[in-house]
Amino acid sequence: MLDENKLAAISRLVRYYILTGTTAAGSGHPSSSLSAVELMTALMFGGFFNFDLDNPENSDNDRLIFSKGHAAPLLYALFAAAGKVTAKEILTLRQKGSRLAGHPMPAFPFTEAATGSLGQGLSIGVGMAMAARLDQKSYCTYVLMGDSEMAEGSVWEAIEIAEHYQLNNLIGIIDVNGLGQRGETLYGQHPEEFQRRVAAFGWETIVVDGHSFPEVISAYAEAKLVKNKPVMIIAGTIKGKGVKLMEGAPGWHGKALDADQLKAALVELGEVDKNLRGVIAKPEAIKISNFPTYATSFAQGYGRSKKASAGKQFSISNSNDQKIEYSKDQLVATRKAYGNALVRIFPQHSNIVVLDAETSNSTGAEIFKNKYPENFIECYIAEQNMVGMAVGLARRGKMPFVSTFAAFLTRAFDQIRMSQYSDVGVKYVGSHAGVSIGPDGPSQMGLEDLAMFRALLGSVVLYPADAVSADKLVEIATQHAGIVYLRTTRADTPIIYQNQETFRIGGSKILRESPQDQIAVVAAGITVHEALAAADTLARDGICIRVIDAYSIKPLDADGLLLAALKTRAVVTVEDHFAEGGLGEAVAAVLAGLGKPIYSLAVRKLPPAGQPSELLDYEEISRYGIIKIVKEIVSQSKPA
């Protein structure tokens, strides 16, 4: 542990980098960075933080998350003081092409996760602490938070779950400087208000003067000794500390000093040793003992085998020659197939961790939970925290599958949106989607989820129609590095694919076709079954339609759709989702400029409660709605 004089000298160097970097950028958050300098200097260079600077991905490294991401200048300055960022690079802050973005991003190798949307860092920290426990690692996760973000509900979701799981390897640090963007924060400079609230959730709390090295050092030492509960260090600080012009003054949030103000501030700062470097101890290599191993489980099979007889029963054999028997007319919900698929593939992907928000008996995740409880995390009804945890787990090498009702994922869209910037491949699974869920009513119907996930950069959106495709698409999701959204259906649905069928991201399946096809009907999920029923009815009336299962909604099978459009008079899309941002708009974008009519059947009316078939009819996305529009198109195209 360094002496206080050495820590004070490093603090001056850190402040120097904060001020010169933000003035060079002409923007940034120097005042928010300055308030936490002593807190972070003592942590990183006071002998508490163990980190291999030459190997940021070392699995034994302690982790440091800047939940108050606007204090990024402090993060960069700390690693400059550690010798991993040059004084020259500090001056590239916020410039195009620089690793030093306005808020932390993974391009900077010492960034644990993308932050900047406040209130998310602690959830990510919970995920990292859970990852340490899963991997039997002894590293500690530290999360720096601001007092303003403590008004976010997601923070309290994280606080509650961290205590529930007794994460004594998680240490939060609240920088209570009392000032937010526009003035005083909710509780101002009253650390005791946060202590009272956090302690009520069962955390160990330690209140300190955030600018006193003796108090801060003592707090970290005490925190490391706490057992069976997480620790929150609550530090009273001064915003803009070290620059009298800024100290405790409103109006400086997100504002840099100009050149003349910088000169005065540097004089005030005093002598700075620019050659000084803080030392961070490397972590000890932790040998993992009794790491769980898993025997290969038998494959879950659905669908009729190509070798099956024509009898009512047929069998599917797995690699262990065990058999599972199904009747030809078996009905299986894709949500159940999701859980079965996870069990089947887990032995080949033992880094899978399944998170669920108290809906596992409905989403199908309970099937996995019952087989591999050690890799299942119950997140309770706290979807924002659940997604944040998944990001933390993914950043530590896990493959999280996050499941709940599709409607409830919309609560966590900010966390989902931010996950794309952390460069993690979280797999999201939304069940009970669309009006087809029936009598629970619109509050439970995910009708916006396809649009939400399609909007994410580089995301993959998959919507299986039966258990076979659901099983295969879950496995495909594990092979994709980025974000995947899998939409599942509440109702038990018929098996339409053989167990040997193959699927791919960006693919589709033609389920009905003939040389006489007049209309191409493009469906996904539950509406595939409606389209098949409509095709059978229309065929009896002498009208042939091509039925396409667009199971990959993003990316779409553009070539397949273009070919189908060219071979038919018109294209009809049908989806159990609002028209905005769904399958219809995706198909229309692919076929734009082709000159073929495109008709979109989607949920366009406020859905009431009712039986699934009634609601599909009400929204005109059932077989009857498809038959009606096909006949209208065909009649319009006939000569008078």
Q: How far is residue 127's CA from residue 391's CA, in Å, rounded to a whole number?
A: 7
Q: How far is residue 150's CA from residue 396's CA, in Å, rounded to a whole number?
A: 25
Nearest residue to 401 via CA among 499, 480, 489: 480
Number of H helices, E strands in the chain: 23, 21
Q: How far is the first Cα of the chain from the last one, in angstroms, to the nearest whole number?
A: 92
Task: Say whether 632 is catalytic.
Answer: no
Question: One of 383, 530, 575, 619 is an active-site residue; which one?
Answer: 383
Q: What is the chain's Cα-based Rg? A: 28
What sign does the dihedral 176-178-181-185 (CA atoms) show? positive
CA contacts within 13 A on the Cβ side of 256: 22
Instruction: Show the 3-state SS of 566-607.
Output: HCCCEEEEEEEEECCCCHHHHHHHHHCCCCCCEEEEEECCCC
What sign does the dihedral 601-486-158-440 (CA atoms) show? positive
H/E element holding 17?
Answer: helix 4-25
Q: How far is residue 209's CA from residue 10's CA, in Å, rounded to a whole number?
A: 18
Q: How far is residue 152's CA from residue 631's CA, in Å, rounded to a whole number?
A: 53
- CA 106 to mean position of chain CA atoms: 15
Cis-peptide, bond into residue 442, ω within 30° of zero: no
Catalytic residues: 383
